[in-house]
Structure 1
Amino acid sequence: MSDASEQRERDAARLTRHAGLGGLEMLAARYRDHAYALHTHPTYVFGVVVGGVEKLRIGRRSHLAPAGSIITVNPEDPHDGEKGCASGWAYRTCYPDVVLMREIADDLELPGLPMFAEGILQAPDLARAFVRAHRLAGQALEQEAAMLVVLRELVNRFGDGKGNIHASDGGEAKRRFRLYGELIESDLAAGFDLARLASAAGVSRFQVIRDFHRAACMTPGQYLRDRRIRAASVLMRTDMPLAEIAVATGFADQSHLTRVFKTIKGLSPGAWRAAA
């Protein structure tokens, strides 16, 4: 068996989307050798480990998530993931957007969006219900109802209802970080270095590094890569060729985009695009 064939047997991922839940992305994956690079989502991330152990960082905290664990990640929280045991891990995840989570918060009469203080939760009944709902692919109405019920219960038990992901912070570091982000978003294909960011904010390169660490728990390079992949994901919902998307979002070529995309999304651009 070739190395590529062995890799496919070890790592497998399938992404689906549910139209009735606002295009909710749902991933079923088994990984032995794959490792997620540090990244963020504009959405929430909820998942249940169904086999093995995942080792992951969420924000500044590191976790081990054995089978049966529920994983929760708030929007924009940096996180990664890799095997926590020799056999790797298998899990089912979904990525609810803010609109869906606000609907749930309103139904529960919460004062704001639900935020989750603990990255790993132990609630066996909820974990089982999540997996059951996730497995109802092809049964649209049943899956829609089952997933809404389990997400509502997850929020009801563990969401604090105090979140406002658009809240502003008047601190100088936060203002500088917003400036860095605006500069990067304005031209993702541009070459960036610390000197350019430092000059824009009127600070030293060392201060730029500290600002990214404090505001995003990321290095400037990790943040730039994350934003490029997020922009590429949006363009992949169109019929724009992958080679053109790579150039438009700052990658050297399509192969470079493919390599980085898989470390962030867990599957190839082609497979991700097919699910879209």
Structure 2
Amino acid sequence: MPGMKRDCGGAAAILGAFRAAIKQGFKDNLHAVFCLAENAVGPNATRPDDIHLLYSGKTVEINNTDAEGRLVLADGVSYACKDLGADIIVDMATLTGAQGIATGKYHAAVLTNSAEWEVACVKAGRKCGDLVHPLVYCPELHFSEFTSAVADMKNSVADRDNSPSSCAGLFVAAHIGFDWPGVWVHLDIAAPVHAGERATGFGVALLLALFGRASEDPLLNLVSPLGCEVDAQEGDDVGRNSKRRRLV
């Protein structure tokens, strides 16, 4: 439990970015959904072997009670899809300790169903200083890590040596569906969100830069990789997608 104060880094980044985006004149349809879990012992606490029915309608067998954040995050993206009608969903969380091993202390990990948006996240990170590096997106090989005999899936992987950060992101994506036609971007910021015991504020600048084209701020327009003319040939789909609704 000590050190868990930094586990709110994803929600803190979303809140900071949402507030800053509104102050800078965000011009598109924007929602912020906060997926909060309390790590506390009590009579209603999740137990190993429990089976939960999530908002998506899928059932999850609990094989790791420390993988609690992904349960509420899965509900959050499902709510964004079903109730808010979002066609671009960006989730940001301190999801896995393995992220620091996969991409290091200074680069957040990005997992997405869109190659164009993966490139956009990396470019936005370089321009704003919140660095990002891609994870392997391969649900056909990795999602079997969550196989359950009694539910649609387990909440933690069978093999922790098989790209656990990618798998954790796929758990979230499964609750909107791998065949969902919209853009889904998952940002695991577990390592860069803190330096020792202090928060870094990582994520706020990244989201502002990524969606800067929807802002009235000229600097954010300049650094945003979405809709940038010099990148038009490389990412036409990104430019078109940037005109859609957005959920952060």
- TM bracket (short chain): under 0.3
Larger radius of gyration: 1
Q: Please, what TM-score do these two structures have when normalized by structure 1?
A: 0.25
* Structure with the bigger percentage of helix: 1
* Structure with the bigger percentage of strand: 1
Q: Please, what TM-score do these two structures have when normalized by structure 2?
A: 0.27
